[in-house]
Structure 1
Amino acid sequence: MANPSWLRAAVLTTTAVLLSTLLAGCGGGAKDGDLRAQKLDWKDCPAPSEAEGGGSAPSPLPNGGTWQCATMRAPLDWGKPKGDTIGIALIRARASGPASERIGSLVFNFGGPGGSGVSTLPAFGEDYAALRTRYDLVSFDPRGVGSSTPVKCENDSQLDAYFQQDGTPDDSAERTALLNRTKQFNAACEKNSRKILPHVATTDAARDMDLLRQVLGDDKLHYFGISYGTELGGVYAHLFPKNVGRAVFDGVVDPTQNPEQGSLGQARGFQLALDNFAEDCTSKTTECPIGNTPQEVKDRIAKLLTDLDKKPISGIPPRQLTETAATNGIAQSLYSKDFWEYLTEGLEQAYDGDGKILLLLSDSLNGRNEDGEYNNLTAANTAISCADQKPRYTADYVQQKLPEFRAASPLFGDFLAWGLVSCTNWPVPGAADHPDVSAPGSAPILVVGNTGDPATPYEGARKMVDALGKGVGVELTYKGQGHGAYDSKDKCVQSAVNSYLLEGKVPTSGAVCT
């Protein structure tokens, strides 16, 4: 069996996979019921609980400092700000430079939706060392996520079955089974999380961030949003344009698309990433072990999935590698070029009847650790997405759209199309077709698009710039691979981002890093 340690190390290179969340210390009470006056009780972070993914407490910082955790109280219902409250789990690393040069706090959201900032920030801490010279680095578990009143749906064994289901039905019986299994999952969410489900929309999280800004003592919100974090940042800028400080959006969500358009864009994005992977493998001087030409690589992958649909192979006993798990594993490996060697190895083994590596990759995407325990990523992702997205798609509608999705991606089209039914039986209505991110009067926001991004295709960066409004969005292009740009370690990208966040130097809009 493959050692999970190598996979976990690889997972930490991408914002797509968020392995665990950390418990936060208790927050102080607010004075006279005013949550803006609350004092945070920062303490050393404990180890994460089983529900948060397990593992160890974050390691000390290189200079001997420690990661600190706290809990901020926020209204359960922002429509009733003096009503019941919930806890928002926080983490921070204090600025490493002189106090006289400190700008304030830099708040991170790493995406999802449903990703824990409390667990992810320490994993990437070294990547942001330059930014820590002038900022306290701060992140949080958005409401419904990790330690922030987490959405709970199914237990570990039920989730194992959920992820083993056939996500690309071929006939009416398989379609019925998929719909019934989705309905069962959604009903479990309603049963176990009825109180929080109506209050996990992105607009709620944006209001939490403005409360966080005030509790941290900052006049402006300085912000670094990645993937879904760019959508959250855009919604914040729309609601509070005058409170935006220095902000960076990386791995940019297209805010103009409805769920169907977004999934279709992802189909094209993942297909492009697969094309690039196949080209890379076959263009090297050493022999590509999974095909002699790019087309042969893709044809063999397609045949593997077809064969798995008929007969799964051995995975991690007692679980097998199904077509759906293999598709998940392949998608996971396309989030970062650093993963491509694992995809090659996983495919090579799968062709020999061993599905362990692809199943491990699938597990990492789904938030499952080697002990069989899941964090709440899937539950939170579903809850937040369904609270945000108004459309509810039927099986008949998806069936009609399959040719368009297959044209976008022969490999991922069916899988992403059928994912549209996930909110069909959701107990809470969705808010809108797409988020409103128009932010007239906001300070400049640096919007970084990656031409090879599979999850948030490059075109979304320009759409975000246009939607933010004239004089707000500043576009920077990175010609690279993987999800996001800053964590690629590209010196051009990091120099532009660091100069803006640390010195306030706004790059020329339209600049390109190659």
Structure 2
Amino acid sequence: MALASRARRPLTRLAAAAAATVLLLSGCTDAGGGTGANGASDGGSSSSSADGGDTGTQDDQGTQDDQGTQDDQSAGPALQEVGESAAMGIDGDPASDPAYETYYSQQIQWGACEGIEVDGAECGTITVPLQWNDPGAGDIDIAVGRIAATGRSEGSLVINPGGPGGSGVNFLESVPYLISQGVRAQYDMVGFDPRGVNRSAPVECLDDAETDEYLAATGEPGSEDGDALAEEWGTRVVEACEANSGDVLPYVDTYSAARDMDVLRAALGSEQLDYLGYSYGTYLGASYADLYPERVGHFVLDGALDPSISMNEFSAGQAEGFEHATDAFVADCLNAGEECPLRGNAAEAKQQLLNFFAGVDESPLTTTDPDRLLTGALARSAFLVLLYEDSLWQMGREALSSAMSGDGAPLLNIADLSSERSADGTYRTNATFAISAVNCLDHPGVADEQWVEQEAERLAELYPTFGPMLGGQGCALWPEEPVREPAPISAEGAGPIVVIGTTGDPATPYQWSESLASQLDDAVLLTHQGNGHTAYGRSGGCIEEQVDAYLLQDTVPEDGFTC
């Protein structure tokens, strides 16, 4: 296959899971692929990403320094041509512009929620412009849900679970397990589906049966056959997205979603927005703060993305981060003794894991469903989502033990939970495709295909577990050009904003939280020492205590607090 074709590796997705997916897998603890044709599983949620190790420095061809950010974009390879978001180039503040008055004067009509399994949930919609810079070009509806405060409400806390592609309305089901009782007593908890996601003008691509095929499709990672398969499926996905959602695809970028969030703020009757965002939700929150610094209330950004890095740097960070998480999983597994299906020292055990994936690539495993096999892509998707939460590692050992004994059902079940596939074969949300639709607008990649191919080879060699899946130019076939340059966000005039990083986060590297906190004009950084993705709701109480004091008593945590 020609170099240019191999370098594309279309629609390789970054891998940031929504917190809701991890909760689903872990049983909701109370708070205190071969290269699959789809690339890495997003776990039901970002173009988020991951790193956090000591080998993230690229040579001077690259652009990534040891903080996971670019020192000087102009010194590195040129990125794709970037257009302009329809949310930008607007004169003045839409909230005070008569052209937007009908949007800002809305009141939400709350009613019953369909398909949400949590007591007290109410749902409604708000209407926003499809194109923010042309409010006469048509409208879309944004789905909103809330759980009323259990005590006297002091306002609304808007939450986003990550993604892009995570449903904030569905995330209300996780609120009783993630958010402390004190916060739930004082705040109405409000979630929304960002534009392009689930109930909000959703990006529609493949049907459910085709999505099954797409997620299961497996080729040898980084091989010509694997890349050809990825390109074949990438083309099918793009054509389906264009056919079914071509009118919305150019307008699902994060700045547009942030504009929508300001309409939501107004509809909730709030002068300022109080917000808790996980993973990709930190990028959405920081983008809002960049647009509306004077309207930032209490802001908590947990598991931060670095807005100053390119798509390729996101991919490199995730490849490294999930490699470190794999090493930690293997070490933990070996410490479990006979419960672990791996044997020998750490290097030998890891090679057994890689050999297992390669074997499933060649010979998929049977499951309890005679019509569905566990393929290499599905096995890797299941394993990847297990790395998000170290409390899932025992489940991972058990599922691997079954698979290495010939039973692929437990890993297939985990893969289905990750992609939000129901037992009847339907998918609860469109997260599988929304993640590409948003990421390809938000994050340009390197334009030089030779550089991209060399980088793909580097990632495959250094990070053999997921590096072969994450190399390449993931949006090469996407029909819409990116609309946003990588750039720091200062949000001057906003703050203080609380940023949280977890040292062993495989999906959003700790260095990115450090970087975002340093970019913001007024921010404090909280550090959770541990493995897994994000911290609030899973740190064991220490991060929760700091965040709750900030949300409830307006006590700003000490910058640098670590636990």
TM-score, scaled relative to structure 2: 0.80
Post-superposition Cα deviations, 1:452-492, rounded to whole Å, max 9, x if no partner, equal 111001111111112213xx121010001111001214211
One-letter amino acid of the structure 2 residue matched with residue 258 of structure 1 = S
Alignment RMSD (CA, Å): 2.4
CA spacing shift, 1:372–1:414, aligned 2, 3 Å: same
Given the alignment of the two structures, is residue 110 of structure 1 paired with residue 161 of structure 2, yes or no?
yes
Structure 2 match to 1:245: 297
CA spacing shift, 1:336–1:371, aligned 2, 3 Å: same
CA spacing shift, 1:446–1:171, aligned 2, 3 Å: closer
Match of 2:149 among 92, 95, 98: 95
CA contact (8 A) 1:86 1:149 kept: yes
Deviates more, 1:308-317 or 1:157-166: 308-317
Identity %: 37
Tell me, in whole angstroms, the C-alpha distance in 1 between the residues paired with 2:22 and 2:222. 35
Match of 1:45 among 113, 135, 144: 113
Shift of 1:73: 0.8
CA spacing shift, 1:170–1:468, aligned 2, 3 Å: closer
CA spacing shift, 1:168–1:215, aligned 2, 3 Å: farther
CA spacing shift, 1:70–1:76, aligned 2, 3 Å: same
Tell me, in whole angstroms, the C-alpha distance in 2 between the residues paired with 1:6 and 1:244. 28
Q: Which secondary structure state, in structure 1, belongs to the residue aligned with residue 266 of structure 2?
A: helix
Structure 1 match to 2:283: 231
Tell me, in whole angstroms, the C-alpha distance in 2 between the residues paired with 1:385 and 1:287. 39
CA contact (8 A) 2:341 2:400 kept: no
Q: Which secondary structure state, in structure 1, belongs to the residue aligned with residue 287 of structure 2?
A: helix
Q: Which secondary structure state, in structure 2, belongs to the residue aligned with residue 248 of structure 1?
A: strand
CA contact (8 A) 2:219 2:225 kept: no
Given the alignment of the two structures, is residue 130 of structure 1 paired with residue 182 of structure 2, yes or no?
yes
Structure 2 match to 1:23: none
Shift of 1:70: 0.6
Structure 2 match to 1:330: 383
Shift of 1:180: 2.0
Structure 1 match to 2:365: 313
Shift of 1:265: 0.7
Tell me, in whole angstroms, the C-alpha distance in 2 between the residues paired with 1:453 and 1:479. 9
CA spacing shift, 1:369–1:126, aligned 2, 3 Å: same
Q: Which secondary structure state, in structure 2, belongs to the residue aligned with residue 79 of structure 1?
A: coil
Shift of 1:221: 0.6
Matches within 5 A, 1:124-273: 124-128=175-179, 129-166=181-218, 168-273=220-325
CA contact (8 A) 1:255 1:463 kept: no
CA contact (8 A) 1:450 1:485 kept: yes
Given the alignment of the two structures, is residue 373 of structure 1 paired with residue 426 of structure 2, yes or no?
yes
CA contact (8 A) 1:18 1:116 kept: no
Tell me, in whole angstroms, the C-alpha distance in 2 between the residues paired with 1:370 and 1:396. 43
Structure 2 match to 1:279: 331
CA contact (8 A) 1:11 1:17 kept: no
Structure 2 match to 1:415: 469
CA contact (8 A) 1:474 1:508 kept: yes
Shift of 1:267: 1.1
CA contact (8 A) 2:161 2:168 kept: yes
One-letter amino acid of the structure 1 residue matched with residue 298 of structure 2 = R
One-letter amino acid of the structure 2 residue matched with residue 486 of structure 1 = Y
Shift of 1:286: 5.9
Shift of 1:300: 1.0
CA spacing shift, 1:377–1:319, aligned 2, 3 Å: same
CA contact (8 A) 2:386 2:393 kept: yes
Deviates more, 1:358-367 or 1:256-265: 358-367
Q: Which secondary structure state, in structure 2, belongs to the residue aligned with residue 88 of structure 1?
A: strand
CA spacing shift, 1:136–1:237, aligned 2, 3 Å: same
Structure 2 match to 1:26: none
Structure 2 match to 1:473: 523
Answer 1 or 2: higher relative contact order, Cα 8 Å, separation at least 6: 2
Match of 1:386 among 403, 427, 440: 440
CA contact (8 A) 1:231 1:435 kept: no
Shift of 1:344: 0.5
CA contact (8 A) 1:245 1:443 kept: yes
